[in-house]
Structure 1
């Protein structure tokens, strides 16, 4: 899995490159010091996953993420930052980031989180989820069937389509089609936004 790291702190870049480079299935192919460099690097290397800081000179991580996702929607972006305020979280996810981790997170788990993102599973730091669910939005799922609500709940729990299919005795294709229908009904872009909407609706309680 090809990975690039984007951060204006060279020490952060080199530390993450060293730590994640020890994983047999992760290949850190490059680092960038700002969003503009990240866009250029992505054009050259076509990575699978990007670890992206938010506040950087020249171009910030949110704008860089938006540009990258518009051109390469299949590339996964994980925001890795110190910012846990609602504004930055929402802007990053709206830009297309599928994950949002804090730099205070345990680095030992980061490789697993990168693999999860690559498998289509949302990765959100616990503190980030707490921030997002402070203002629940109710009534958003009223038009969904019971089976569609089951799928929404399992997506919010971080399960992949294959795992959801096993639990609900559905084929991967059926789960994928139903998930697409749910996203269309709720006017959401992807499963990350769906998971956030679910936790907002429940206020963080299953």
Structure 2
């Protein structure tokens, strides 16, 4: 997979490039120091995944993520930052990021999470989840059928449609259709927002 690293700290870019390039299935195709450079890099050589910092000069990571997902919806964006506040987390996810990791994450773990995200899973750091999963009632349980509830729970665990289908002995088509119904019920855009919504509202 092709990786673009975006961070205004040159040392972070250089270190991650060296470490991630050791993974046989990963190639760091470029680095960028702000969101505008990241967009230009996407135009020149489309990456599989972008590792995106939040606070940067010229254009921040959230703005860049929004534009990248608008122009190249198949590009995966993983926020990689020091910020753990709920506002930034939610803004990043609303912009289209499907993952949110803290920079202190070990590279081996990071590479595993990158693979999981590219395969279709939602990836959220454990500390990030704590910010988003405070109990807020049982609305999710009340609105969903038992099958919908099972699927939503597995989405919240980060499973892909294929993995959910295998676990519930259903077809991928059934999972996709049911997932669309769930998203419509709660007016959510994608499985990342569903995972967060479910975890927050099913305590």
Same-fold call, TM > 0.5? yes
How many angstroms apart in 2 are the aligned matches of 1:148 and 1:138? 14
TM-score, with structure 2 as normaliser: 0.96
Equivalent residues in 2 for 1:24-39, closer than 5 Å: 24-39=24-39
SS state of the match for residue 139, structure 2? coil
1:124 aligns with 2:116: no
* Distance (Å, rounded) in 1 between the aligned partners of 2:137 and 2:159: 23
What is the match of residue 189 of structure 1?
189
CA distance in 2, matches of 1:104, 1:137: 32
Structure 1 residues without counterparts, runs of 5 or longer: none
Cα distance in 2 for partners of 1:194, 1:132 equals 12
Q: Matches of 1:46 and 1:111 in 2, distance apart? A: 19
Alignment partner, residue 109 of structure 1: 109
Return the offset for 1:80.
0.3
- Structure 1 170/72 Cα, relative in aligned 2: closer, same or farther at 3 Å? same
The separation in 2 between residues aligned to 1:137 and 1:83, in whole angstroms, is 27
Counterpart position of 2:160: 160
Q: Alpha-carbon deviations, 1:118-146, whole Å to 9, x = none?
A: 01100000000001123635414533211
1:137-152 map, 5 Å? 138-140=138-140, 142-152=142-152
Where do 5+ consecutive residues of structure 2 fail to align? none
Query: 2: distance between equivalents of 1:141 and 1:57?
Result: 43
Deviates more, 1:54-63 or 1:133-142: 133-142
Report the equivalent of 1:48.
48
Helix, strand or coil at the partner of 1:127: helix
Q: 1:139 to 1:113 in 2, by over 3 A?
A: same
CA contact (8 A) 2:141 2:202 kept: no
Tell me the distance in 1 between the aligned counterparts of 2:135 and 2:13.
34
Change in 2 beyond 3 A, CA 1:167/1:190: same
1:101 alignment partner, SS class: strand
Question: 1:192, CA displacement in angstroms?
Answer: 0.8
CA RMSD of aligned residues (A): 1.2
